[in-house]
Structure 1
Amino acid sequence: MNSQSRNLPTRISLLELAQSGKDHPAWEELLDYYRPFIRRILIHLKVSVSDVDDVCQLTLVRLWKDLVNYEHQPKRARFRSWLSHLIHSTAVDWHRQQRRNREAMDADSPEVSEMLIEESTLEQQIEEEWRDHIIGLALERLKTIFSGNAVDVFVRSVEGDSAAKISADLNMSEESVYVLKHRVKKRLVREAYELRRELEFPDK
């Protein structure tokens, strides 16, 4: 993709393309991006690791069915608020079904109630997780763009390693450490911006 097309303000996101129809090819690409994010949220909702893939699949099926009817109104409700409710309700429905299957607890069991209460703070959790998810995706892209130790230098510096330590460990000058860190950071901001354009509804 050339730089001119990257700067078009009217570029259609993958989310918008996927919303245009359940059979749109953008769906598969979109799900590949959202699947690991949804899994992380489900784990925060106390879905067991052994069950998280099944519940994630149920969530993605609901997303596939419901996204077509989602009306984007950024001034009233953000998409991730809607997604937060969808993930939470799917997790709670699954948990209740598990209780019924085992006939051990009713729908008002403490564990289910705890999940229901947690929805009030889930939206903030989703925003934080989404930011981290976008950064993680952007870093993966950078590994295909930069050669050598560039991305490693940046990650280690963010994690708190000094330029002197990185320089000694990787056998490069401290000046090179600073240069690589700056280059990777600049490109990371750009890639994160591009990912948001691809995976979010634009503010209208």
Structure 2
Amino acid sequence: MSDWITNVTLLQRVKNQHDDQSWEEFNEYYRPYIYMITKGLNMQHDDAKEITQLIMIKIWKNLPKFDYDPDKGYFRGWLRTVTVNMVRNYIASKAFKQESLESIQESNESLPDLDRDFSKSEIERIADEEWEVYICRLAWDNVKENFEENAQEVYRLLSEGKECDVIGEQLGIKRNTVYVYRKRIQEKLYREIRRLNHELG
């Protein structure tokens, strides 16, 4: 990833639709999160990819006239709203097409019903959980090169839920060394997560 800038600055830059570099940065930061929300709403992989692409096109078209006000909420809240609305429209469009083809062929594809399957609070919970997962992954990608290979392996095993004693035995290092690695990683990771939430949230 390129040098970090505040997301407010990035949002100002992507208003210029001819600024390809800013759009690439925006795309790199936010596309995975949009995809994760869409998957969290029970969309199949291919549908989620298509919806994500449609959303990115819509955002690109609308950003020149979009005014982001941090006092009114997080940018990711706006992304969530756009994503959920696009998923609804996509499902409605696909359901209409399936209904039109009903007399020709049976469709085995089942589409989720957002209003039936999810309450507003559940959609918000899914989006918030996906954001946490996304930011944690992004933070680790940003900081992991600061740690030696053993420390990276400790983090991987901790993420799998393994105990420090087990990790020490598996890697052939002292238990205290595992604790030291864990503490150093947590401190750096939490700082990076806070920074990313401030920059991108």
Q: TM-score range by the shorter chain?
A: 0.7 to 0.9
Shift of 1:89: 1.1
Separation of aligned partners in 2, 1:168 and 1:60 = 47
Letter in 2 for 1:69: K
Shift of 1:129: 1.2
- 1:47-126 pair list within 5 angstroms: 47-103=43-99, 114-116=113-115, 118=118, 120-121=120-121, 122-126=123-127
Contact 2:55/2:83 (<8 A) preserved: yes
Contact 1:84/1:126 (<8 A) preserved: yes
Separation of aligned partners in 2, 1:45 and 1:163 = 35
Separation of aligned partners in 2, 1:63 and 1:119 = 25
- 1:57-76 deviation line (CA, Å, top 9, x unaligned): 00111122223333333343
Shift of 1:87: 0.3
- How has the CA–CA distance of structure 1 residues 81 and 116 changed in structure 2, closer, same or farther, with 3 Å as cutoff? farther
Between the two proteins, the alignment pairs up a number of residues equal to: 187
Separation of aligned partners in 2, 1:178 and 1:155 = 14
Shift of 1:196: 2.8
2:39 pairs with 1:40: no
Shift of 1:179: 1.0
Structure 1: stretches of 5+ with no match in the other structure: none
Contact 2:15/2:65 (<8 A) preserved: no
Separation of aligned partners in 1, 2:91 and 2:48 = 11
Provide the alpha-carbon RMSD of the alignment.
2.7
Runs of 4 or more, structure 1, over 6 Å off, are none
Moved more, 51-60 or 153-162: 153-162
- 1:146-171 deviation line (CA, Å, top 9, x unaligned): 22121221342354322211110001
Structure 2: stretches of 5+ with no match in the other structure: 102-109
